[in-house]
Amino acid sequence: MCGIAGIAMARDAPPPDPVRLEALAASLRHRGPDGSGMTIAGEVGLAHTRLAIIDVEGADQPFFAGEAALIANGEIYNYRALRAAMPEVAFATGGDCEPPLHIWLRERDGYAARLRGMYAIAIHDRASGSLTLSRDPFGIKPLYVADIAGGVAFASEPGALLATGLVARRVEPAARDELLQMQFTSGARTALAGIRRVLPGETVRIENGSVVQSRRLSALPEGGPETIGESDALARLDAALMDSVALHQQSDVPYGMFLSGGIDSAAVLACMARLNTRPVLAFTAGFDVPGVADEREAAAAVARAAGAEHETILVTREDFWRALPAIVATMDDPAADYAIVPTWFLARRAREQVKVVLSGEGGDEMLAGYGRYRTATRRLFPRRMRARGALQGLGVLRQEPSSWRAGFAAAEARAAMPGRSALQRAQAADIADWLPHDLLTKLDRCLMAHGVEGRTPFLDPVVAAASFRLPDGLKLRDGRGKYLLRAWLARALPEARPFAPKQGFTVPVGEWIGAEGERLGRLVAAQAGVAEIAHPEQVRGVFARAGRGRAGMAAWLLLFYALWHRAHVEGHVPAGDVFDCLTDTGPG
């Protein structure tokens, strides 16, 4: 895993400034602490920082072949098969990201269809001066672009474009409204004005300093539910999961996994235990609040049954207040998912022993685990997903936004392909927007802040082919989601108790915020980012009620936004705990 960045200027503009490229690389050093590389040819400059995972000693980037240069952030899991299919090529390294360069030389913009993996790739054709940017179909790895004076800049993180002064620090109001209602932003637009995402599966070509072409690969197979029996479906799912996990384990450095009390990570562990001769190293987080669901005991039982080496960490209230400014500062593309808190602490602990972790993200979307799928697909009185915003109707905002759901509604419309069931449409909408722009952004930023690579075996084309077109009855049954995965896990690792009532996962942010509600409400209400959009007295009231009902989530979102605005719009460098950060009025 790595960081990539670059600048593509128009032919009549000055060439890329090497000092600016070096600054881009420096701002991405946390993503790639093991090395860096840079190249400038004509109007295009590329910068790379490396986290060495495959061919640790030899696969430094950029890669060069013919008139082309490539930099990449990601893992190409089928790289051995790609190499074998090109026996005439004299590869310069054993790296997994070199084969895409040679495929591009043959197939040009359609090259990404041959790749199985997670990636953000930039390829410069030095003969024509064009630059090609590609992102994997699930959007596991991030990539952002921005128009700048005389050309286009790109980077793995928006923060790099801000830190180097290529883009001004300004809020995009419509995206901010989405964030405060849904906890993430949809589509290509980000909450930072002037910075947009390369979409999942998108390949764009840049010529003469501007985007001239775009094409996309779908993450999901076409067609509605197929006809298949449970026995055959179980066998197919088993083969797909084992194949995917085996490829996701490819590494020349130590690896482990994140283990929750849920069935997705338990399924990943079951596969890893079958594939590894040594105990799998698993990490679990828990909290010190009585009455809050704590996954450590359930995870420990599953780990023992699988013969795993199990590490647990306790996240306390003091940890929360002390680390939250730094955690939010990593979320430059803001996803206000409170799971950023345990994920960040897990990554910090895991980095002491491994450089790669596998996790269960994508299982709920791919195999229909969320309760909202059941309500969205019921025959009588179906309910829209995300029908009510987190701050909607609370009287907090100076102006109640009316179109905050428009972006996700567009994703729902695109998901409504002919032949798909209502369940498939709901899944596809989440896979297009919620998954990459919330869950995967959270995973990427929290892990890469500590130089750890996160891998997601459920988000794989082979797993998608085995699961997305399953009959609805093999996904939803007896009031539960993920039926087929539960049935598979009941055989593979019954100690996970896959058919037991779901305990649920939560982070006790409402309890922690509520305990400091009066003090924190005054501080948050006074922040520039919050004061311009919210009534101070209503903000204080929400924090006073944060320990109960909707107020807890509302307070969390306002606190997150206040800290995010301080870091990424005001340019404040986090120092001290939450209270120090919100009290300090200086630039940082």
Catalytic machinery residues = 2
Query: With contact defined as beta carbons under 8 Å apart, do 382 and 422 qualify?
Result: yes
Distance, CA of 185 to CA of 432 (rounded, Å)? 12
Kindly give the interhelix angle for 263-275 and 230-248, rounded to the nearest 10 degrees: 70
User: What are the structure tokens assigned to 226, written together?
Assistant: 């197929």
Antiparallel, parallel or unpaired: β 356-358 and 255-258: parallel
11: three-class secondary structure by DSSP: coil
Query: With contact defined as beta carbons under 8 Å apart, do 445 and 327 qualify?
Result: no
Edge-first strand order for the sheet with 63-65 is 63-65, 68-76, 117-125, 131-135, 202-207, 210-216
End-to-end CA distance of the chain, in Å? 30
Phi, psi of 466 (to 5 degrees): -85, -15
Distance, CA of 553 to CA of 560 (rounded, Å)? 10
Dihedral Cα 291, 294, 300, 301, nearest 10 deg: 60
Question: Using CB atoms within 10 A of its CB, is residue 304 exposed (0-12), middle (13-18) or buried (19+)?
Answer: exposed
Phi, psi of 367 (to 5 degrees): -120, 15
Q: From residue 311, how far is each of 119, 224, 550, 561 by CA, in Å? A: 29, 42, 34, 32
User: What are the structure tokens assigned to 463, written together?
Assistant: 């797993």
Distance, CA of 576 to CA of 324 (rounded, Å)? 10
Distance, CA of 220 to CA of 417 (rounded, Å)? 11
Distance, CA of 207 to CA of 316 (rounded, Å)? 51
Q: Does the CA dihedral 467-473-478-479 come out positive or negative?
A: positive
Query: With contact defined as beta carbons under 8 Å apart, do 547 and 514 qualify?
Result: yes
Antiparallel, parallel or unpaired: β 453-455 and 356-358: parallel
The number of CA neighbours under 13 Å toward the Cβ of 338 is 19
CB atoms within 10 A of CB 316: 13
∠475-479-484 over CA atoms, to 5°? Answer: 25
Distance, CA of 142 to CA of 437 (rounded, Å)? 9
Single-letter residue type at 51: L
Distance, CA of 385 to CA of 413 (rounded, Å)? 13
**Ramachandran area for residue 159 (φ above 0: left; ψ -120 to 50: alpha; else beta):** alpha
Question: Using CB atoms within 10 A of its CB, is residue 437 exposed (0-12), middle (13-18) or buried (19+)?
Answer: buried
